Structure 1
Amino acid sequence: MKSLLASKSVLWFLFLFNLAVAAAAPFVVDGTQGIMTAVGMGVVSLGAGVSLVRGRGVDAA
């Protein structure tokens, strides 16, 4: 499972999909639930983005 989550294609999917959901959630879901959904998905998206950036440095070395 760890190797699957570390693959570039899965990280890009997690980054882009969660970023899109985080951007749309406050408009689709009303109130606090929409805001908390956006925050949660944003955190997952940032985590995937950080993993992509860290992986880029390893590949270049």
Structure 2
Amino acid sequence: MKSLLSSTPVRWFLLLFNLVVAAAAPFVVDGTQGLLTAVGMGVVSLGAGVGLLRGRRTGGHTA
């Protein structure tokens, strides 16, 4: 599972998908639930982005 999550295509998917969900959640779901969904998905998206940047600095693919 760790090798799957550390692959570059999966990180790009996590970044983009969660970023789109984080942007759309407050408009689709009302109230606190929409806000908390946006924050949670935003955190996952930021984590994937940081993983992509770290992988680029250390020399690329680990898969």
Root-mean-square deviation (CA, aligned residues, Å) is 0.8
- Structure 1 length as normaliser, TM-score? 0.96
Q: Matches of 2:59 and 2:22 in 1, distance apart?
A: 29
Moved over 4 A (4+): none
> Structure 1 or 2: larger helix share?
1
Task: Give TM-score scaled by structure 2 length.
Answer: 0.93
Percent identical pairs in the alignment equals: 77
Q: Which has the higher contact order (CA 8 A, sep 6+)?
A: 2
Q: How many residues align?
A: 60
Gaps of 5+ in 2: none
Give ranges in structure 1 of 5+ residues lacking alignment.
none
